[in-house]
Amino acid sequence: MSNLALGLPEQILACLFDVDGVLTETAKVHAAAWKETFDTYLKSRAETDAAPFVAFDKEADYETYVDGKPRADGTRSFLQSRHIELPEGDAHDQPGSATVCGLSNAKNGIFLRKIREDGVEAYKGSVRYLRAVRAAGLRRAVVSSSDNCAEVLAAAGIDDLFEERIDGVTIEADQLAGKPAPGAYLAAARALGVDPDQAAVFEDAQSGVEAGRAGAFGFVVGVDRVGQAEALRSHGADTVVTDLAELLERR
């Protein structure tokens, strides 16, 4: 199978995939976990300050402030949008503590509970595309800001389709800047032994397509699951699809 049959330019030798919203239906689980975390905190804060409670919007707030970012960065970004300053705390803070780390830990616990209770589904079109990419001999890596990436891939039954994984654990250990910085994607390209212009990035987050463009990757595919096609294009996507299988039909 040629790159043309995959919807990719001929110079592409490797494909770098985000996970949540691109490969698995976990973006909505993340959004629900963030909402539960922030709404609990915001209600408590409103009661203490006798101020109005304004709930976290799991579409607009999720897409704008937390989608695609490392967990603590997402926490900071949303809090800043509400003009709330909290101490950083540390990784051992109790979930729900009024610190950046405490809220981040709460979100992680809620997310893990949800995927263990409900499981993880991979998008059928994405699995079909992954298998076509593997059959074509292209290199494959996942790039995710989540510390739980390995667990999600295994639960979805697609962990065997990748050669390399750059995730939240790697990002912290190697001190890589989170999206929209391109560091994690550049690390994935290095791990696969290709130059950035020989790799395609697949992302559903605005910050992710920004990272693909900032890293001068050869092709950036935006995956629009929530009606943000124009935003993905404006942030750097070369093309936008609603499902990866659409790329197989562009022959």
Residue 244 has pLDDT above 90, yes or no: yes
| Residue 251: predicted pLDDT | 57
Give the CA distances from residue 151 to residues 116, 135, 219, in Å, rounded to whole numbers and listed in that order: 10, 25, 28
Residue 162 has pLDDT above 80, yes or no: yes
Single pTM value for the model: 0.79
| Residue 60: predicted pLDDT | 92
Told to judge if 167 belongs to the known catalytic residues of this protein, a careful annotator would answer no
Average pLDDT score, the chain: 93
Residue 189 has pLDDT above 90, yes or no: yes
Taking Cα atoms as reference points, which of 184, 226, 176 lies closest to residue 201? 184
Catalytic-labelled residue, pool 18, 73, 147, 238: 18
The end-to-end CA distance of the chain, in Å, is 11
| Residue 155: predicted pLDDT | 87
Residue 4 has pLDDT above 90, yes or no: no
Residue 118 has pLDDT above 70, yes or no: yes
Per the DSSP assignment, residues forming a β-bridge with 140 are 15
Average pLDDT for 198-209: 95
Average pLDDT for 91-119: 92
Give the rounded percent of residues in the chain with a pLDDT score beyond 90.
79
Backbone angles phi, psi at 171, to 5 degrees: -60, -45
Distance, CA of 172 to CA of 119 (rounded, Å):
26
Average pLDDT for 194-218: 96
Told to judge if 197 belongs to the known catalytic residues of this protein, a careful annotator would answer no
Average pLDDT for 2-20: 94
Residue 63 has pLDDT above 90, yes or no: no
